[in-house]
Amino acid sequence: MTIKDTIKKYTKDLREVTHIPAKEVEILMLHILQKNTIWLHLNYNEKFEQEKELEKLVKKRATNYPLEYIINKASFYGESFIVKEGVLIPRPETELLIDNAVEIFKDKKEESLVLEIGTGSGIISVMLALLIKNIKIIAVDINEKALALAKENAIKHNVEDRIEFRLSNLYENVPEENIFLTISNPPYIANNYELPTNVKYEPSNALFGGSIGDELLKDIITQTNKKKISYLLCEMGYDQKKPLEEYFKSFDIKEYSFYKDYENFDRGFTLEFKN
C-alpha cells in the first residue's frame, strides 16, 4: 500500500479525537520515518513498509493519548521542543506571556535576573533566553523529571549557560534578593473541574491549583511582593480576573494589566509593584 493510501486508511480512526485526522496520521508517519513534510509529499505514491508500527501509534492516539507524548515533540513560539510524559505539554496561549515579558525588557540595557516558577518543559525560560540577550534566569519546579527535561531543551537551544534549573517549591530555594521579574504559568484549574479526556494524561500537579483554582496564583503574588520584585507576569484561568483584581488591592501596586488569549478569554496579567 502506498503512503497516500495508508494515510487514507488510518484517517478514519482519528476522526473522533482530532479535527485534523489526516494531518495527524501524517505526523505519526513522519515520526516513524524520521522524514519531513516535503519528503512525504514528494513520495506519496511510494510503498509504505511500516504499517504495523503506524497502526500501533494510531490506536494509541485514538484513545485520546496526546500526540505530543507519542512523538516526544511540540512546537512553541516557532521552535521545536522535546516533550515527555509526566511533564505539561506547551500551549499556544503561553506565547502571549513571553510577548509581555519581551515588551518589559525592550528598553532595559543592564543585565537582569529573572525567575520562572514552575518551568515544566522549560519553554518559557528557553524562549526568554533566546529572545532577550541581557538576562540570566533561575527556573524552578517541584518536579525533578520536569527539570531534567527543561535542561534538555535548554541544551538543544544552546542557552543552558544562561539558565540555572533548581528544585524549589515557589521561592523556597530562591534566596536571591536581586530578582527583577518573576514569570509563571502555574496550576490554576479548580480541583473539582472535569478535564477533557486528552488532558487527563498530563500531570495533575501542573494543572490543579486548589479548591478554587487561584490559590497558588495568590500565593505567588504575595511571595513576589514580599521579595520586593518589580514585575510579576502570570498566566491564569479565564474566570479569575475579578477575584485577582480584588486581591491586588491588598498590595502597593504601581500598575497592572490583564490580557486575553487567542480565543478572547482572559488569560493572564502583568503586575508592577511599587518598590
Same domain, 113 and 24: no
Query: For the domain that residue 269 is a member of, what is the CATH number?
Result: 3.40.50.150
Distance CA 230, CA 40 (A): 50
pLDDT of amino acid 23: 96
pTM of the model: 0.93
Task: Name the residue range of residue 41's domain.
Answer: 3-63
Select from 234, 232, 226, 227 the least CA-distant residue to 209. Answer: 234
In a domain, 100, yes or no: yes
Query: Considering the domain boundaries, does residue 252 fall inside one?
Result: yes
In a domain, 79, yes or no: no
For 181-224, give the secondary structure using H, E and C.
EEEECCCCEECCCCCCHHHHHCCHHHCEEECCCCHHHHHHHHHH
DSSP 162: G
Q: What is the pLDDT of residue 197?
A: 82
What string of pLDDT tens digits covers the 275 residues of the chain? Answer: 999 999 999 999 999 999 999 999 999 999 999 999 999 989 999 999 999 999 999 999 999 999 999 999 999 999 999 999 999 999 999 999 999 999 999 888 889 999 999 999 999 999 999 999 999 999 999 999 999 999 999 999 999 999 999 999 999 999 999 999 999 999 888 788 888 887 888 888 777 787 878 999 999 999 999 999 999 999 999 999 999 999 999 999 999 999 999 999 999 999 999 97
DSSP β-ladder status, 189-190 and 231-235: unpaired
Q: Is 113 left (phi over 0), alpha (psi -120 to 50) or beta?
A: beta
Q: CA-CA distance, 124 to 139, in Å (whole number)? A: 9
Which three cell numbers mark 144?
525533578
What is the per-residue pLDDT for 87? 93
Joined grid coordinates for residue 99: 510577548
Which of 189, 186, 193 shows the shortest CA–CA distance to 221? 186
In a domain, 177, yes or no: yes
